[in-house]
Amino acid sequence: MNHLYDRERDGFAGDTIVRSMRLLLLIHLAAGHLVRHVTWANDLSQSWRAVTMGTALAVCVATFRTRWQRVALLIALPLQVYQVYEKFPAVANHLWVETLLLLALLLVAEGDDDNVLYRQFACWLAVIVFFYSGLQKFWYGTYFDGQYLATKIALFEHYRVFFAWFVPAEDIARLQSYAPLYAGAGPFRIESLSYLVVVNLVWITEIVAALLLLFRRTRFWGLVFGLLVILGIELVAREVFFGVLYVAVCLAFLRRDGVRWLIPVATALYVYLILTTIEAFDWLPTPVFYP
């Protein structure tokens, strides 16, 4: 099997993906800290809010000076590690991805060999996360009959909006009646065939995407499947920060630097999300999203 990103065949002079990925990750981390600072203000102590806000502002200041970007990553690292420590073992997927990318981008420079090394790391990260995510869903079995997502339908309106296309209204009303969840609530079984097909396609597509990405001949379709998975996550779960970051990871499979084209899109999206958390901009349509 060929390397996911072969140094001799795929590497080229002038690659800029490390520089672009550093910039995107710093914008991503700064925006995430700012949004969490506002969104979860009531859940944070004053000292923690000060640290979070200070880190976000420091990263913002350093981000757009190329020579300071490594310093900005170092500033962000302690807070990132602490977040993982504080939430362990229930660490959100995007926190793991952020932390691994942060460490990788601290270790590499911006030469041609470093760009190839980063691409190899990012490609393997994409494969491992897709495969493990699908395997985990298969192993626990709660996707087979749709029970896991049925609990989400019971709890969250945006899940109900999406799955209304596949689940009868009476089932949605029944599930909604279980909220807030309590011991003995249920059943969470949904008989709709279209719902069960959609739910099981999630873990199947993740595993298939990972396997297709392993081989050069099937890599294009692996990337298509992977991006479809991310699109599905955004349509249903609306994990915006994870989605943007993971698209950037997957773009490492492209021979050219696709991340630099993602930066303005991600920046505009993050600015909009930050504005929707500020009272002065409460006239803006407020999307449901998870930072």
What integer is the mean pLDDT of 89-104?
88
Measured over the CA atoms of residue 164, residue 170, residue 176 and residue 182, the dihedral's sign is negative
Token pair for 36:
């969490």
- From residue 2, give the alpha-carbon distance in Å to each of 10, 166, 171, 219, 257: 11, 41, 48, 11, 21
**Residue 27's pLDDT band (cuts 50, 70, 90):** confident
Name the residue ranges covered by the structural domains of the chain.
14-146+190-281
Residues of the chain above pLDDT 90, percent: 42
Residue with the larger pLDDT of the pair 23 and 39? 23
pTM summary value: 0.85
Predicted confidence at residue 1, as pLDDT, reads 41
Predicted confidence at residue 268, as pLDDT, reads 92
pLDDT one-digit tens code per residue, 39-94: 555 455 555 555 665 666 566 655 666 677 787 888 788 878 888 888 888 888 88
Residue with the larger pLDDT of the pair 54 and 277? 277
Predicted confidence at residue 68, as pLDDT, reads 75
Long-range pairs for 220-226: beta carbons < 8 A, 24 or more residues apart = 223/250, 223/253, 226/126, 226/130, 226/250
